[in-house]
Each structure stands twice: as C-alpha cells, then as structure tokens.
Structure 1
C-alpha cells in the first residue's frame, strides 16, 4: 500500500473505533491465498483501482494480473492488499504442517505500527473502505464447508494421536512408582490433559473462529514472535525425541524377531531407515501414508489384547501367583519416569486445533466430548497393558513390554510363541510406517526456521523447494539415525521429551495462551486453574529433567 492508500485504511479504522464496533482488518496476505476470496480490492493512489474475484481480475489484465504473472515466475512475494470478507486461514493444515499466522503476515507491512491494536480478541466484522460493516456470514459458510468430521471421526483422530510407541513403555512407567501410585499419577495426567486441551481450544475461540488453526499461529496471535519460537522449539525438540524412540522400538522388535545380537542391531536401524523410512519421507503428500496410521492403531490394539490374554493364561498356569517385586507404592529417583513417560503418552495437543477446525457443527462442548472420549479410550488401554504387564513381570518390567517375552519365557510358555511373533512383527511394521508421518510436523518446523533465516521473514514450510525439502529430510534422518544407534534405551528420549516438550505442550503453553487473551486482572478465581498449570509445568519440567539426567547418569555412566 502506498502512503495515500494507508491513509484510506487508517481513516476507515478511525471510523470503526469512533463507532465502538469490534472490527478486524487483515492485510498483506500472500497472493496464492487470496484467490478464493469473495472480493479482492486493489488500492492504488488512495482509490480502488480494481475489484472483483480472482478470475475477473486476471481477465481484466491490469495491476492484479501483473502481480499474478510475477508471482508465478518468482517466489511467492507478499502481495500488499486490502481484502473484503477475508478468510484468516491461508490454507488447510494437516498433520502439523506449519503455516504462518495472519498476524505474522500483517506485521510485514510497514506504516501500520498500530495495526495490532485493532486485532481484537473476538473479531465480528471485516470493514469495507466506505466504513460500513459486513456480517461474516460468507466466512462462516466457508468454514462450515471445511467442517465435515463427525464426533466419532474426531474422537478416532485424537485417539490415534495419543496412542503410539509410548504404549509399549506404559508398563515400565507404572512399575517405576508401583501399581497404586502409578495409576493415581496416570489418572491425574489424563485429567490434566483433558483440561489443558480445553484451555487450548478456549484460547483458539477467543482468537477468532478462523484466526488460530495451528499451535504456531495461536502462539503468534497470543505472544507474537516469541509464541512462534516457543511452539517451534517444542515441536522440533519433541519431534526429534519421538522419532529417535520410534527407531529404537523398531530396531529392538526386529532384533527380537530375527534373533540379532546387541552388537549388530545398528545394521537393522541403518537398513530400515535407508530402505523404508527415507523413501517414504521424501513424499510431499502425506495423504498417501494414511494406511500406516490405521495399521498402527490396529497393531497397538492387538498388542494390548495379547498382553492381557498372556497375563491371564500365565496367571492360571501358575496357580494365581503374580511376579515378585510388585509394589503398591515405590518412591525413588526412578519414579520420575512415571511422570515423564505418561506425559508423552497422553499428548494430543499438536492435532487438537486442526481436528477442532474440521469438526462439523463445532462447539467447545462438542469438542470436549471428543477429547474426553479419546483420553478415556487411551486410559483404558493403558490401564490394561500397564497392570497386566507389571503384575506379570514385576520388578523386571522393561521399557518395551514386548522384550519381556524373551526366548526363555516363550520356551516355558510355548502357547504364546506365534501370537507374540505376530505382535512383534505388526508393531515393528506399524512403527516403521508411522515414522514418515511423525517426520511431517518436525520437518515442517525445521523448514520454517530455515526459510525464516534465509528470507528474513516468516515463510510457510510448503514454500520450500524440493531440494531444500529433501536436504532437510536427509540431514534430519542422519541425526536421528545416529542418536537411535548410540542411545542405549528408549526411556531416555521419551523421558527427556516428556519433561521438556511435554511440560510446555501440556501445562505451560495452553494456560499461557488462555491467560494472555483473558480480559480483566490476572489474579482472579477464573485464572486459578491456568496459573496452577503454569506453575506445575515449570516444576515438572525442571524437576523432571533434573531427576531424569541424574538417574541416567547413575545408570549408564
């Protein structure tokens, strides 16, 4: 916008403020995101030079058409424009794909230092140049067209997000604190997860129906650039640890099936990464990998059923005797694994906002039912595998419950040999095929950071060239491969991720986003819960990481 056009916009804003109407104006959208707008206005010299739909303006062969032509031959430059009835979300987001928030884009326009003052918590109207208000019915209609997911579908998606490789480590988490204390902690974390997701969704609603559809954009809306950086750090750090744990789980399971010794396991890791993970990770269309997600859920369900049936079978064979070393309460430095591993096991916040966006006839109450259903299903499955695994193996429970079924154990109970083999193969294959999916949010954040450093402005990861995309994939997998080979136990990355990223993702960030968008004083009864969440998150993060490092130092050094 030139200086005269800036004055037109500022005058319109002044009129709105004088009328005390809640209004949001969005400027400086990327050219590629404007094409579905109901009306596009090109302002030049303080006057509307062109207006119409994308197709109409292209056929007009004027200023807008020239910008479209230049954008197709160069990188997608920022198109400074004022748009009526605008859609705040640049594009649909899937599997954690990073998209710069609307406020990040608007901040690129100079001459609007006070623009953020008009980005109110609940935008009701988008202004026209003549100052009259326009109801956002068309925006709501477009949102409703995207919202096609049922309550059951949303519940399944969230359940799929929660359940993962951490399921195999839940028995070890319970064994670290005893069956009574461990279950109390698991119930507390399940309830906290439900509450923190509610805070996250409430913060999203306060930001506006269409203005915060990803964790990163909500962070930027609430905290500016600091919120974006915090979200990026959380996803990069957490994603790296999760990917390392996936490869460790896969390697251990394949080694158990193939009877490969500990010294040669690294060859399995290298082969699986080169032959399977790397080729699948090069695809830029995540929709092709949906089958892996379904396979992972089925495999986890089978493993839980297998551990349950194996426990009942062995329990009856042994005359109702449980394993030695089973305790109701156990308190020592190793008890920290219960908290950190279970925090990782229940996290579903990275997909909560996209799922909320796609929920048909969405409301906070309806989404809460989906969250309660997903957390409830995960809690029941965790309860079954945790108690059955711990009561069956006692103090010898390993951080991968399937590794407890050793060749000696199978020789003693030969009836479980084939079901165990099927469980190990299914779980190994599921985790192997899920690794490329887990790469998406991690790589997207890394690409966003790289492109911001390269271009000097916040740039969505999908704008990276294929060479940049492949280069980041290769470097990331190389680092993940090295760590998975040299890290001796899967509980190390899972515990560190739970204490650092988990405390940020579950405790601190949802409460912080909620508080920053809450009117009135900070110290009120309504804010007691979020303030306690922030304090608890800091304690869990600092204490959890300290005890984890202390425990690891004594175990391995």
Structure 2
C-alpha cells in the first residue's frame, strides 16, 4: 500500500473506504513498535513496586492486565475514528467531533499533558544527574558541573534538541531502542537475583545491612519476609486502591503519539497499527510486571514509592542503573515533543506545508519554556500533577470514546449498538478515574503527605 491508496481494500459492493491524506509511510513496523513503547514507558515505572506492596501480587496483576486491555481498546477507538475522518491527527478528530472548539480542546490537552511529561523527565535529570556525577567522580563535587540547573541545559542542547529537530518521529526508532535497552538493564539490575555488594537503605527498618553479598542477601530476604510477609492478595485501603488505579493507568499514556506514529507507518492499515500498539503494550506490561515483582520481592512491604531511593547512592552498579534510567527518560523527551509540535502546527498553521523554520523554531521554543519551568519553578510537581490528573484520563478514556461516539456514523453503528454502549461506559470510567485522581491530589495538598509516586 502506497500513499494515496485506500485505507482498506475496496469492498465487494464497490464502495471505497476513506482515503488518508496525511500518510508518509516511511517508518518500519519494528521502529514504530520501539517509538510507541518508548512513548509508553516513563518514570512511573519506579513506583509500581510500591503499588504492588499496597495491593498484593494477585490484585496488582489483575489491575495491570485490565488497564493494558483498556489502553489497547482506547487505541482501537482512535484508529476507528481516524478511519472515518481520513486524517490521523488527534486535533482533527476533535474538529470532526465538535468543530473548532473540539480541535482547540484536544490540542490544548495534548500540549499541557506532554509539557508536563517533559518537565517531569527533566526534573529527574536536574535532581539525579548531580548525584550520579558525584558518586562516579567524587573529586569534582565542587565544580559547576554538579549543578542541576546547568546540567539540564547541557542535556537539552547536546542530546534532546538534535533529536527533536528530526523531520519525522520515525527517525527516533534507534534512540527509542537504546532507551528501552537502558530500561531492560534497569530491570535486570533490580532483580533480587542480581544483588551484589551494595548498601541497602531501608526506611523504618531495624535491619541495617551493609556490603551485602549474594548469600547474605538470601538471609536478609528471609528475615525481611518474617517482618513484611509477601502478600499474594490483600484487601488494600480504599485510598491506596484509588491511587494505584490512576497511577497504573497513567503508566500506559501514549495516545498523543499513536496517530503521529500511524501517519508515518510503512504499509499503513488499522490492523497493522493496532498490532503495533498491542505488541508495545504487551512488552511494556511485561516490563512493568517484572519491575514491580523484583522491587517488591527485594524490599517487601517496606518498599518506598520511588524504587531507586531504596538502594545505595554509593554503589557503582546502582549508580549505573540510575544513569540508565536518566538516559531512558532523556531519550523519551524528543518522542513526547513531536505531538506538541504537531498540535501547535494544527492550531496555528493548519494548511501550511512542512517548513524547516517553523519545525525548528517550535522545538527550540518548547525546550526553552520547559527548561525555564524546571529551573525556576520549585513546586511544578503539584501544578502538573493536577494537569496530569485531568489530561491523562481525557487522552486515554474520555476523548477517544467521545470521538468514536460522535464521528462513527449512526447508520453504521446506532447509539444503542454494542460498540457505542461500550464507548459510553469507557468514557464514564474515564470521568471516574479523573475524579479519583483529583480527589487524592487534593488530599495530598491538604495533608502534606505524598501518597503517590512517579509520573
């Protein structure tokens, strides 16, 4: 299938399916999987062990499978809507559903959510990279190189900006593959079987273990198990359950990147793109599950909301793991930037052809804005936490369902048909998750106690 071909083969009755007008079709199937997987994964992976400690292994696995299936279904709704509209842009789906206000709403939600994600990733660089440099090279602790404000500028200019200037998101497949490799290294390193000489820092524990060898770790885990027994199943408090579900749902947010990746997919079809999404979600689900289990079985009920905080800050292996996580989130920033630029172009220059000046200028301005936020705003987490609590359910549940209900013709699928009823229930679930997230963010603000972890 080449550009200009029909989206689906002609039916036997001669009716031609919708033609896509924004198809470039240059990115391979494998590269598309790498890019979408990289868009899915985020720093929230560090909080999944804490979620498992609160819910128990069985309930966590059930939630993980359920949310993964719902995420795949959400992408199915987007692809179905795009097939009717003929343009694979989130903003255009909003336009066809509600006119210009819908287009503006969809674009603004994507911009706010992805700027929040970019800010959270660079905050990790700002906070963690100085500690890594000091741990690896203690002698340079007095130099400006360990100042996080300078480091995020250096990282943005040297690593993020060149990647953000790529013409197509498909070109980021190689860096996405390297980013995922870093997360695989993180996954292997946090496995209880890989414990080597390091210091385990355990909060609120009477066991202070240093220089733990592999044999000693077995004794340590046995002792910890007596204090914090493994919970295959538990009835968690309502607060923990209500917070765990949104955290796990946000871990699968990739929907702003789905349609841009679809646009550049070689030999595009809805079935082919759905397969890309299903494989990406499956791979990330396995990685999430293993990370949660490894972290939980290392620290049991004493695990903190940020998994790496439980490990030594001086051990070389753990420092390398922290560096791998930083590389992974840094290489995710350009992938997250592409949908923002596309949303801005859809709003300001909807009918203009590609132009390098606009392409470069938007990327530079976005990175400049995000760097300013990360450098000068001390408590940006609360602001974008609230934005994320509203934008993430909108992008995953609410907007895809509403687009499907409004865009798919009633003569094809009446409002009382099973697909439309499923979409309505899906939208309702999104509103419930949004209310839950906002409620417990307000609880955090009022009590001052952090209940959730990760982004």
Q: Which residue of 2 aligns with 1:232?
A: 107
Evaluate the alpha carbon distance shift between residue 477 and residue 256 of structure 1 in structure 2; reply closer, same or farther with a 3 A threshold. Answer: closer
Residue 227 of structure 1, CA deviation: 2.1
Q: Which residue of 1 aligns with 2:152?
A: 273
Contact 1:165/1:431 (<8 A) preserved: yes
Question: Which residues of 2 match residues 335-484 of structure 1 at below 5 A?
Answer: 335-407=241-313, 417-445=315-343, 451=348, 464=358, 470-483=364-377
Structure with the bigger RCO (C-alpha within 8 Å, sep 6+) is: 2
Residue among 501, 513, 517 paired with 2:391: 501
Question: Which residues of 2 match residues 65-214 of structure 1 at below 5 A?
Answer: 146-207=24-85, 211-214=86-89
- Name stretches of at least 5 consecutive residues in structure 2 with no aligned partner: 196-213, 451-455
Residue among 425, 428, 440 paired with 1:547: 440
CA separation in 2, counterparts of 1:438 and 1:177? Answer: 30
Evaluate the alpha carbon distance shift between residue 383 and residue 431 of structure 1 in structure 2; reply closer, same or farther with a 3 A threshold. Answer: same
Contact 2:125/2:152 (<8 A) preserved: no
Residue among 308, 328, 337 paired with 2:191: 308
Contact 1:201/1:364 (<8 A) preserved: yes
CA-to-aligned-CA distance 1:347-388 (integer Å, 9 cap, x gap): 221222233334444433333332221111111110011111
181-190 or 363-372, which moves further after superposition?
A: 363-372
Residue 310 of structure 1, CA deviation: 4.8
Q: Which residue of 1 aligns with 2:128?
A: 253
CA separation in 2, counterparts of 1:419 and 1:291? Answer: 25
Residue 447 of structure 1, CA deviation: 6.7
Establish whether residue 241 from structure 1 lines up as the match of residue 116 from structure 2. yes
Evaluate the alpha carbon distance shift between residue 233 and residue 178 of structure 1 in structure 2; reply closer, same or farther with a 3 A threshold. Answer: farther
CA separation in 2, counterparts of 1:443 and 1:368? Answer: 24
CA separation in 1, counterparts of 2:417 and 2:317? Answer: 56
CA separation in 1, counterparts of 2:417 and 2:124? Answer: 46
Aligned residues between the structures: 406
CA separation in 2, counterparts of 1:347 and 1:465? Answer: 25
Contact 2:257/2:336 (<8 A) preserved: no
Residue among 408, 424, 428 paired with 1:535: 428
Q: Which has the larger radius of gyration?
A: 1
Establish whether residue 512 from structure 1 lines up as the match of residue 402 from structure 2. yes
Contact 1:194/1:375 (<8 A) preserved: yes
Contact 2:4/2:21 (<8 A) preserved: no
TM superposition score normalised by structure 1: 0.63
Contact 1:447/1:461 (<8 A) preserved: no
- Name stretches of at least 5 consecutive residues in structure 1 with no aligned partner: 1-85, 89-120, 125-134, 411-416
TM superposition score normalised by structure 2: 0.75
Contact 1:447/1:469 (<8 A) preserved: no
Residue 309 of structure 1, CA deviation: 4.3
CA-to-aligned-CA distance 1:510-540 (integer Å, 9 cap, x gap): 1111111223342332312100011111111
CA separation in 1, counterparts of 2:144 and 2:238? Answer: 32
Q: Which residue of 2 aligns with 1:43?
A: none
Evaluate the alpha carbon distance shift between residue 319 and residue 445 of structure 1 in structure 2; reply closer, same or farther with a 3 A threshold. Answer: closer
Q: For 2:409, what is the secondary structure of its paired residue?
A: coil
Contact 1:282/1:470 (<8 A) preserved: yes
Evaluate the alpha carbon distance shift between residue 228 and residue 265 of structure 1 in structure 2; reply closer, same or farther with a 3 A threshold. Answer: farther
Residue 342 of structure 1, CA deviation: 1.4
Evaluate the alpha carbon distance shift between residue 265 and residue 136 of structure 1 in structure 2; reply closer, same or farther with a 3 A threshold. Answer: farther
Residue 168 of structure 1, CA deviation: 2.1
Evaluate the alpha carbon distance shift between residue 355 and residue 290 of structure 1 in structure 2; reply closer, same or farther with a 3 A threshold. Answer: closer
CA separation in 1, counterparts of 2:236 and 2:194? Answer: 22
CA-to-aligned-CA distance 1:423-477 (integer Å, 9 cap, x gap): 112222333344344334335545765x47xxxx887895749667644542342
